[in-house]
Structure formats: structure tokens, C-alpha cells
Amino acid sequence: MNSKHQYVELSDGYFIPALGFGTYKPEEVPNCKTKEATKIAIEAGLRHIDCAYVYQVEEEVGLAIRSKRADGTVKREDIFYTTKLWSTFHRPKLAQSCLERSLKKLHLDYVDLYLIHYPLSMKPGEELYPRDENGKLMYDTVDLCAIWEAMEKCKDAGLAKSIGVSNFNRRQLEMILNKPGLRYKLVCNQVECHVYLNQKKLLDFCKSKNIVLVAYGALGTQRDKKMSSPVPLEDPVLGALAKKHKRSLALIALCYQLQRGVVVLAQSLKKNEIKENIQVFDFELTSKDMKDLDGMNRNLRYLPVDFDQNPDTDLPVKGFH
């Protein structure tokens, strides 16, 4: 079954493809690799493209989308494109300008989904990670509800069809949900989520509020090679299920999320892996399989905290996803 037939309905009536292509890359990887990988993803049948202002690859992703539109592979309405509001644009008067910058780089008139990338604000300016003379990250104080009102205006302007958040915890989600005068409810919360960090409590809360959970880092990717943390794709439980279903460990990890009702982002620059990920819709895990995978949870995060820690949040600052 092709991925383009698998959608999850958002609370605003739009539909998001259940399997997405993540476009974050390490700084050392040239941007042209992202352009080629995005083309391959679209050719393979993926229609959900996840990106962000801070990734600094939107020009390349836009070129890939235009290329596939030009050769007749897709129309604009076939693509579900997500971008994110970066933390230096949190002041309400700046939020729309961040989206407009992304749209200009992409050569698109609108995005399908616009997210608040992180629930913490940094000093406005051209620097993505502004620091003072002592090298300390410079924060800003902006009320989350004020940021959300600016997001609502982006939807009003037709620049974003749906709006949501990323890296929010339950308390932060409730701040938006309980906001007086809320005009548009957030449709999703994108967070790190994999078999070692299954986010069960957050997922249950999101489901109770009709908020879709979107998983990034679904394979538990280690960013820092010096880390001694265990790697999910070397776990014997995943290995046994991969052997049982005659699928790769990565496909088992992705299928686990889909069967939990989670929209999952698969990230790769390799042609064979991108094409393989589509096969996630060709098989199903049993309830026993799902229970075994649930048992793998370790509440283990892979995102390293490379930047200063904000005292009001336990979230890493660096915009890896």
C-alpha cells in the first residue's frame, strides 16, 4: 500500500500523511545532499516533507519540490509541507516574517503546517543562536499565548493551513489549550519519540485533546558518537521482530509508531533507506509485538544539550529537529 493513501486527520479537518520525510542534516553534510534526498523521497512516494527555518536547507528543499512539480511527479496540493517558527522570531510582530522568509526560499505561497519550534524564546536578530560577550545564550521573554496569537494570524493570512507546536510538554500545551479567546486549536505536537522514549503519557494526553503526536528521531539516532547510550537499532527485541517479519529493524521501529496513531518522520540521505521506508505500510505488527516494543521504553533522549540550559525548561536548545 502506498504511503500517499495513509493519512491522519487533524482537528481542523486537514489531513497529514502518516509517514513524513525529515530534512534536518548535520552541518558537515552539504546542502545539495538534502536536495537530492528530497527528490528521491518524492519519487519514492513520500508526500509529507518536514523542514524548519533553522535547518537552513529550505532553498534546496524548495528546488527539489519545484523539480518534481516541473517533471509532473507531483502538484503543489500533493505535497504536505511543514516548517517551523524559530526562537529568535517569537515576538508577535516577527512571527509572520519568519514564515515569509521560509516561503520566499521555498518559492511557495503557503505551507501546510507551521509549528512553534521550541517553547523558549531567544533574543531577536539575524543570529540563530545569539550569545553575549561571555558566550552565554541570550534569551528573550515572550508569552506563549502571545506567540500563539501570532501563529493564528499566519493562518488568517493564508500563509499556513494548519498550526501547531513542537517540543512542548503537557503544561505548555495546556497553556495554549486554555488560552482565553483561543481561535485556532493546535493540531499537533512534534517531539522526539522512539522505542527508548515512547512518550506514552504525552501521547495519551494529546489523544485526549485530539492533538496529533508527530515523532522525530524515530530510530533513536545518536548525534554524538562519544555517547555511550544504547542504540535501538542494535536492540535484540527489535532484532527478533525484524527477523520474524522479515523486515529491517528500522521498519519495525517506524511501524510501531504508526500503529500507535503517531505520525512518524523518517530521516535519511540514502536512496535505499528512503525507498525502504515506504514498505512500512506493507505489514502489520501483532498486539504481542506492540507490547514487546512498549516494554523497550527507557525514557532515553538522544538529543544532546549543546547549548545553555534554560532554567524554565528541560528541553535542549539546539534546533536539531
Annotated binding site for substrate: 117
Max distance between CA atoms of the chain, in angstroms, equals 56
d(CA 96, CA 91): 10
Distance CA 143, CA 131 (A): 21
Looking up cell 528541553 gives: 315
The residue from 53, 55, 114, 302 that is catalytic is: 55
CA 63 to chain centroid:
20
Pairing assessment for the beta strands 263-266 and 19-22 based on DSSP bridges: parallel
Element housing 192 (H / E): strand 188-192
296 close to 231: Cβ distance less than 8 angstroms:
no
Cβ atoms < 10 Å from Cβ of 89? 26
- Is 55 part of the annotated catalytic residue set? yes
Residue 84, C-alpha cell as written in the block:
517551523
Tally of CB atoms within 10 A around 230: 14
158's CB contacts (< 8 A; 6+ apart) are 109, 110
List the beta bridge partners of residue 189. 165, 213
Tell me the C-alpha distance between 65 and 73, whole Å. 10
Question: Hey, which residues are catalytic here?
Answer: 55
